[in-house]
Amino acid sequence: MKYLVLSMMIMSSVYALPIKTGEHFRTAIPGEFIVKTAGEKIAQNVKRVLGKNLYLLKDTTQKSLAKYKYAYPNYQYFGDYKDVESNRPNDINFEKQFHHQMVKTTVAWNTTSGDEKIIVAVTDNEFQIDHKDLESSWWKNQDEIANNGIDDDGNGYIDDVVGWDFFNNDNNVVDPTQSTHGTHVSGIIAATANNKSGGVGVAPGVKVMPLKWYGEDGSWTSAIISETYHYAVDNGAKIITTSYNVDGFVDDQAYLAAIKYIRSHDVIIFNSAGNAGQKNPPRQKIKELVLVCSVKSGNEKKQDKKSSFSNYGTGIDICAPGDPVYAPIKWSTGTQDHYGELSGTSMAAPVAAAVAALIWSAHPNFTDEEVIQKLYDSADNIDKRNFWYKKKLGAGRVNAAKAVL
Ligand SMILES: [Ca+2]
Ligand SMILES: [Ca+2]
Ligand SMILES: [Ca+2]
């Protein structure tokens, strides 16, 4: 398992849901204005009388307002507290997913919880396709007919309806022999909301393209990596997230060419920063990658502190909660809804990738560069909690609520 991330720890502690107040987001209600008159009565377009000479108007245009003493837009405000109440999905273990409160997903979901047209490719070791919280989250190749032995869409892959196994060169991405990793990463991105099961993805509306590339023998090749990335781009992924150690690839020309292929097709690639607790590891030289550092998420007093295992340095781009994250895990027998906590930059990378997917869902006309810039600009500064790591944690910790505005 040389290249698999180093540490993934199953955690068991349960913490109370932290509800924070004080930060608000607003949106102007179309056509509604609060107007004050000099005493004249208004008959038309009154939605409600608010007081003496004070009216709430509906179906009104800005132009018609000049005659009043004043006229102001009617904003709808969303605060954290109200939002956690109103947007809390019914998934039974939502409170175990500390990262939702940290990155304010429930507020972001007022704008979007993800567009199914935004496809996020996950390159990993196994995918529990029939996991209850993921079975409707996968990207499906609509142009391919299942199990007819024919490459219907002519993309070079026979019966590739739900991803591909590039190690074994077949269409089965399920692998009972591997430790759970790809299922968890996929669930962090897009686990189903409001199905009364487990938790919820950061962007439950988007689709995950499951690409298995890590071999049962613990090896993989430049060819497999190159092929996997080309498949993702050529079959419609907008975002790719890789939670593997790529330090050994910095002089691998096939890998570097594949990364350049990704970026030249306006596709964004995220990669975990790595779990060696190391400053400026080799992968930070690869400028095309959005490298994601992990911050603590479980204990409220320690939230946003760099995870001790996380690499850091001047090449880090962004941080996300990854220590721990509760999400779906592979199941072997019996029930289809296994979940658990794992910790690692492997978990932080998909949180950041999913926030980028939310940005793209909210702003479908953005270029890849604009999505990346928005991700950085909307991040929260976490320097105060990381005195020794100033300027070594990228743009800060992702904030989904600000990112989608
Ligand atoms: Ca095909
Ligand atoms: Ca077929
Ligand atoms: Ca769920």
42 near 50, Cβ under 8 Å?
no
In a domain, 52, yes or no: yes
- Given a contact cutoff of 8 angstroms between Cβ atoms, the answer to whether 325 and 342 are in contact is yes
Q: Could you tell me if 71 and 200 lie in one domain?
A: no
Do 53 and 157 lie in one domain? The reply is no
Q: Give the distance (Å) from ligand 3 centre to CA of residue 330.
A: 15
pLDDT at 63: 86
Pick the ligand that lies closest to the CA of residue 195. Answer: 3
| Ligand showing the shortest atom-to-Cα distance for residue 234 | 1
- My answer on whether 35 and 69 are in the same domain is yes
CB atoms within 10 A of CB 165: 23
Q: Do 39 and 107 fall into the same domain?
A: no
Task: Say how many Å lie between the CA of residue 49 and the centre of ligand 3.
Answer: 43
For residue 255, how far is its CA from the centre of ligand 3 (angstroms)? 35
pLDDT in tens, 284-325: 999 999 999 999 998 888 999 999 999 999 999 999 999 999
C-alpha 293 chain-centroid distance: 14
Q: Any alpha helices (H) in 214-272, and if so which ranges? A: 222-234, 253-264
Distances (CA, A) of 116 to 119, 127, 136, 208, 238: 7, 19, 11, 9, 11
Domain edge (last residue) among 44, 79, 114:
79
Is the model's pTM score more than 0.75?
A: yes
Q: How far is the CA of 350 from the centre of ligand 3 (A)?
A: 17
Give residue 128 CA to ligand 2 midpoint distance, Å: 21
- Same domain for 75 and 89, yes or no, is no
Measured in angstroms, how far is the CA atom of residue 152 from the centroid of ligand 2?
A: 5
Question: How many whole angstroms from 34 Cα to the centroid of ligand 3?
Answer: 40
Q: Tell me how far the alpha carbon of residue 59 lies from the centroid of ligand 3, in angstroms.
A: 38
Q: How far, in Å, is the centroid of ligand 2 from the Cα of 147?
A: 6
Q: Kindly identify the ligand whose nearest atom is closest to the C-alpha of 156.
A: 1
- Which ligand is nearest the CA of 141, by number? 1
Regarding whether 142 and 33 lie in a shared domain, the answer is no
* Ligand found nearest the CA of 157: 1
**What is the distance in A from the centroid of ligand 1 to the CA of 122?**
18
Here the tokens at position 166 are 């590039």
Q: Does 21 reside within a domain?
A: no
Question: How many angstroms is it from 124 CA to the middle of ligand 1?
Answer: 20
**Assigned domain for 49 exists:** yes
Quote the number of domains for the chain. 2
Residue 130 is encoded by which pair of tokens?
């029939």
Residue 107 and residue 268: Cα distance in Å, rounded? 24
pLDDT number for residue 8: 40
Q: How many whole angstroms from 197 Cα to the centroid of ligand 3?
A: 4
- Nearest ligand to residue 155 Cα: 1
Range of the domain at 55: 26-79
Q: What is the pLDDT of residue 82?
A: 35
Is residue 70 domain-resident? yes
From the CA of 223, how far away is ligand 2's center (Å)? Answer: 24
In a domain, 20, yes or no: no
Compute the distance from residue 155 Cα to the ligand 2 centre, in Å: 11
The rounded percent of the chain whose pLDDT value lies above 90 is: 77
Q: How far is the CA of 172 from the centre of ligand 1 (A)?
A: 13
Summary mean pLDDT of the chain? 89
Residue 115 CA to ligand 2 centre (angstroms): 26
**Which is higher by pLDDT, 67 or 26?**
67
pLDDT tens for 111-130 read: 999 999 999 999 999 999 99
- Closest ligand to Cα 194: 3
54 in the same domain as 117: no
Domain boundary among 79, 101, 117: 79
**pLDDT tens digits along 53-97:** 999 999 998 888 999 999 998 876 553 333 333 568 889 999 899
6 pLDDT band, cuts 50/70/90, is very low
Q: Tell how far the Cα of 284 is from the centroid of ligand 1, in angstroms.
A: 35
DSSP state of 244: S
39 C-alpha to ligand 3 centroid (Å): 54
Same domain, 169 and 287: yes
Residue 7 maps to a domain:
no
Sign of torsion over alpha carbons 10, 353, 138, 221? negative
Predicted local distance difference test score (pLDDT) of residue 84 = 37
Distance in angstroms (rounded) separating the CA atoms of residues 34 and 56: 5
How far is the centre of ligand 2, averaged over its atoms, from the C-alpha of 210 (Å)? 17
User: pLDDT higher for 331 or 90?
Assistant: 90
Question: Which of 75-79, 270-274, 344-348 comes out lowest in average pLDDT?
Answer: 75-79
Of the bound ligands, which one is closest to the alpha carbon of residue 190?
A: 3
Ligand nearest to the CA of 150: 2
Q: Assess whether 204 and 340 both reside in one domain.
A: yes
Of 13, 46, 79, at which residue does a domain stop? 79
Residues 71 and 193 in one domain: no
Is 85 found in the same domain as 68? Answer: no
How far, in Å, is the centroid of ligand 3 from the Cα of 10?
A: 20
Listed as own residue / partner, the contacts of 34-37 with beta carbons closer than 8 Å and 24 or more positions apart are: 34/71, 34/72, 34/73, 34/74, 35/65, 35/68, 35/69, 35/70, 35/71, 35/72, 36/68, 36/69, 36/70, 36/71, 37/68, 37/69
- Asked if residue 16 belongs to a domain, the reply is no
The CATH code of the domain that includes 388 is 3.40.50.200
The CA 337 to ligand 3 mean position distance, Å, reads 9
Instruction: Please state which of the ranges 10-24, 108-122, 178-192 shows the lowest mean pLDDT.
Output: 10-24
- In a domain, residue 347? The reply is yes
Check whether residue 262 and residue 385 sit in a common domain. Answer: yes
